[in-house]
Structure 1
Amino acid sequence: MQFTPARRWLAALGVAGATLLASPAAAAPATPKLDVTVADVTLADQAAGSQYATIYASSATVLPSRKLTFDTAGLAGVATATFPSYAHCATQGTVTTCEDSQPTSVEQWGLSLFEITFKADAAAKAGASGALKVTLAVPGFDTVTSTSKVTVGEAVDLVAGERQTVSAAPGGRFTVPMTVRNAGRVTANGAVLQLMGDHALVPTERYSNCWYRDGGYFPACVFTTPLEPGRTYALSEPLGYQVLADTAAPSQAAVEADWLTPAEYADQVAAFKKRGFEPGSPGTGKELTLVAQPVAKLAAPPQADSDKSNNWTTIEVTVTGDNKPDAAAVGANLTGATGATVTAKVGAKNVGKGGIDASRAGSPAVAIRFTVPEGTTAVTVPRECFPASGDTVDWQHPGKVGAAEYHCDSPSARLGAGETVLFDLGLRIDRVVANAAGKVLVSRIGNGPANDGNPGNDSAPVTVNASGAANSGGNLPVTGATIGLYAAGGAALLALGGAGVVVARRRRARFVA
């Protein structure tokens, strides 16, 4: 499947719309509630379309095994559904069953399992629709069922403009024009422009026909103007952006623009609303329009794009200047008697001038490796930490106690200048070892180490009963109140599928500024 920016846009909305991280005192229900979805899809005549089968849980849990059942009887005469070989499915009549006996971890933002490909029947007319029934059965959990709507649309082909490159310094502004061409044979009855940019790039306008959320990020602009075959349309004015003042520099950022038909956008909004989120609210400024002669609106069937590979384009932004982030390891000095449990608050602090931003890639802002000090055992471990050894990470057992080493991912894709992420690990002192030493190592910053301002502070010791230690605490001063951050995971992307592309392991941790 081609992973288009539309899926990344929904991922970003999912991040923004997700529930605020629970406080440490919040108690999860004994048995989480499960849900299973396959998002609605509109097909372009004989072109194929796809969506992911996705499982959600009301709180993080482990499924001992699972059985998914897909009933395609409701698609008769409309479309066929094909399942990938790696899903281990068996079909009998109109029912396909996909089973997995292995335990699977599921977070609140969901887990996409595999992609289902739909293709319209040769005799199906534009406007025809059917339903796919999906049932999930897991031992120890209530069985759940959902329905996905599959619609046959009239084929159109929206083509985005060419890739563009611009430069701007932190705090600076830039504008970019946008165009779209109808390369199909029929009139496109309107269009929707979805925009997704790095956190560093903030839209400067709030147009009345664009829907925004979370400070104006990730707008979707709806145009009702018909697009005639063979014609190119331009936005009534270039789009404006401002680069945040704390953006790392020099660095690269980008805005991705994706053109959809109104029916395709409606499918995405429906998937978003199924998860309890709204697509935002309209701006209060002027209307953004497509420059074209007005055409009388005619009754028409729903449409879908026959070639999504040319719908989108990218504006690459070179951020100039010297504004590097610097992720410094935060260690700890701990004291305690034999048998006592002490808490190591370890992590990383951005002591640089620039923020760390991995939001476009959907990656954690930072990752650390924590080596447990000699003579101690990790008895409480947060779910964002995984047992590790060398280059191997045990992703299947988040929060597992007793390991000698842990890999911990920050729960957010962004760590601003001056902000700290801490992971609380409880260490039981099995025997007192003078100056027992562990270590915290910043193992990853964003998508790589290129912008780390000072690699020399990437590690810090974690000592237990160190000579002269008076009390516990980190090596770097950590001040300020705890702030709530959003759980990242792309809930709406998972509603549409594509979790395997962008699901970063972002979980609960403490952030201080």
Structure 2
Amino acid sequence: MRPPVLRRLLAGLAALALLFAWAAPAQAAAKAKVDFFVKSYTLAPGSSALIYTLLFADRPLPVASNAVSLKYELINQPAAFTLQEAGHPNNCSVDIADLLELTCGPMVDRLTPEGVDSGVVGYVQVAEGATAGQTATLSATMTVKGYAPVRRTAKIVVGEGVTLTAVDPEKERSAAPGATIDTPLTITNSSTVPAQGTAIVASAQYAFQSRTQFSNCSYLEGVLTSCVFPQTLAPGVTYRVTLPMRVRQDTAAPSEQYAGWQWMTDEEFADFRQYVLKGGFGRLGAAGKGGVLRLTEVTTAKAGPPQAVTGYTSHGMKLTVTGEQSTDLAAVGVTARGKKGAVVTVPVGLRNNGPAALDRSRVNPGWPTVRFYVPNGATAVKVPELCAPMASSGKVDETRRGEPGELRYSCDFYNLLKVGGTLSFDFGLRMDKVVTGARGAVAVGAPAEELNKANNTAAVVINPPVAAPGGSGGSGGGGGLPITGPAAAGLVAVGLLLVLGGAGAFLLTRRRS
């Protein structure tokens, strides 16, 4: 190849390299996509419902205060439908003139792919004289500062009012781990019209394990979440369904566990389910693979207008778990490295070694807590919202959760920690001073019944000493995370082009010599 030709080739390669180098950062800086979802409703005449709205972004997107607004409108809809606020002060304001426009300021500081509840306190309401089957379209517009407005709609349907009355709505029982606790739920159709299809939505703790999983019900980790009964309940007749359950074998004892079951029509459940599938109200889980769970005294279901219950109908149960079964909680420490001025993420927490699971989703005893002691030379600049400053005396300032700059923190949790599970809190530590082997600690705050006090503390070590050649060093290390994804592919291409260019330059130099 002649030198001028090679020079032109190298120039082309260099231009491509610059193109890739420019394109990769541009792709990384692409703007997030934002969206939202408004729940649809089936409402009885004379009733109203809180407007549940989920806000999304295709990646975690922090937003400033007042950077997000929502406007709900009923445009050219039947007069039976109106909007309402909850009074002042509040985060929604209704147009008093006609009650057809509601402007709200969501109480959020970030949007996420999973969706965040807007926290708006606004209502859609149906007039007393509304007719079953009437529908309206609720138009909604979300505006995020720096983004184009997004518009979505929800469907509001007037359902024929039915009254379901719970018989023995509150129950109390005692049982040991592993015991059978089959639970009957009994309701009466107190309406003058048949109830043409009903459903229950369950809210039960991990201890309530289903012994049989039915095909018309949903389950999450063995716990019933919902059932749909496509049956007609005659006016004035009482019906019963029995839920086959046991106390899960690894339930802590003694303890208190709670469950609740809310009744609704099948049309109301369809609205509820759509919202859950978008990320609201938790998860329903998969359908069971057994037979069909049915209400007793069933008649053939008949077609009719949509229906909605006229009041809140539910059953609740308090279960006192007897016996003695605690658990071993082990502190989980960490070793990390960082240069002066760098912010290092340090995950600290605890592991449940069993034999009992801990469920704090309903009952929240004062343990366990994770206590973190910041290593010397570091400052906590990023603190989880569930962590609050703790004085040397052990007193926790609950009013300053998530506040940076303290030496000690106490962190709570309010969910389920199964046997073998790990609970972790990520702190961001700024390296103000590089101290070789700087030590902090993580400790488990637990009462006397915790089984093993020997593993309740663990070390947090920053910049441990480097092992001598041939020895074994500590965990962690310098350098950043590996670059992956489309931007990395561009950088790899840049490197390849530069390598090719270098090879060509070497050949050109060699030929000249």
Structure 1 residue 181 displacement after superposition: 0.8
Residue aligning to 2:507: none
* CA distance, structure 1, for counterparts of residue 366 and residue 156 of structure 2: 35
* CA distance, structure 1, for counterparts of residue 59 and residue 400 of structure 2: 21
* Structure having the higher Rg: 2
Structure with the higher fraction of residues in helix conformation: 2
After TM superposition, the structure 1 = structure 2 runs for residues 394-433 of structure 1, keeping only pairs within 5 Å, are 404-405=407-408, 413-423=415-425, 425=427, 427-431=429-433
Letter in 1 for 2:255: S
TM-score when scaled to structure 1? 0.71
Residue aligning to 1:312: 314
Does 2:248 align with 1:244?
yes
Identity of aligned residues (%): 32
Do the aligned partners of 1:179 and 1:233 also contact (CA within 8 Å) in 2? Answer: yes
- Single out whichever of 174-183 and 320-329 deviates more from structure 2: 320-329
Residue aligning to 1:50: 50
Does 2:221 align with 1:211?
no
1:151 to 146, 157, 173: 157
Look up the SS of the partner of 2:327 in the other structure.
coil
Do the aligned partners of 1:50 and 1:117 also contact (CA within 8 Å) in 2? Answer: yes
* CA distance, structure 2, for counterparts of residue 30 and residue 462 of structure 1: 37
Do the aligned partners of 2:369 and 2:411 also contact (CA within 8 Å) in 1? Answer: yes
TM-score when scaled to structure 2? 0.71
Residue aligning to 1:327: 329
Q: Deviations over 1:490-512 (max 9, x none)?
A: xxxxxxxxxxxxxxxxxxxxxxx
Q: Structure 1 unaligned segments of length 5 or more: list them.
A: 1-26, 475-513
After TM superposition, the structure 1 = structure 2 runs for residues 97-496 of structure 1, keeping only pairs within 5 Å, are 97-99=103-105, 104-107=109-112, 108-162=114-168, 163-208=170-215, 210-235=216-241, 238-274=242-278, 281-292=286-297, 294-295=299-300, 297-308=301-312, 311-332=313-334, 344-360=346-362, 367-378=369-380, 381=382, 388=389, 390-392=396-398, 404-405=407-408, 413-423=415-425, 425=427, 427-431=429-433, 437-442=439-444, 452=450, 460=458, 462=460
* CA distance, structure 1, for counterparts of residue 214 and residue 50 of structure 2: 31
Q: Structure 2 unaligned segments of length 5 or more: list them.
A: 1-26, 391-395, 477-513
Do the aligned partners of 2:219 and 2:288 also contact (CA within 8 Å) in 1? Answer: no
Q: Deviations over 1:374-409 (max 9, x none)?
A: 212347x586776746514666xx7x9766555656
Do the aligned partners of 2:94 and 2:102 also contact (CA within 8 Å) in 1? Answer: yes
- Single out whichever of 256-265 and 115-124 deviates more from structure 2: 115-124
Q: Deviations over 1:197-222 (max 9, x none)?
A: 211221111223x2324444334222
Letter in 1 for 2:181: F
Structure 1 residue 304 displacement after superposition: 0.9
Residue aligning to 1:89: 93
Do the aligned partners of 1:365 and 1:413 also contact (CA within 8 Å) in 2? Answer: no
Structure 1 residue 71 displacement after superposition: 1.2
Structure 1 residue 137 displacement after superposition: 0.6
Letter in 2 for 1:77: A
Structure 1 residue 455 displacement after superposition: 7.6
- Single out whichever of 321-330 and 401-410 deviates more from structure 2: 401-410
Structure possessing the higher relative contact order (Cα contacts under 8 Å, 6 or more residues apart):
1
Do the aligned partners of 1:345 and 1:473 also contact (CA within 8 Å) in 2? Answer: no
Residue aligning to 2:14: none
Residues 333 and 48 from structure 1, CA distance in 2 versus in 1: closer, same or farther, beyond 3 angstroms?
Answer: closer
Do the aligned partners of 1:333 and 1:471 also contact (CA within 8 Å) in 2? Answer: no
Residue aligning to 1:60: 60
Residue aligning to 1:40: 40
Superposed CA RMSD in Å reads 4.0
Residues 319 and 74 from structure 1, CA distance in 2 versus in 1: closer, same or farther, beyond 3 angstroms?
Answer: farther
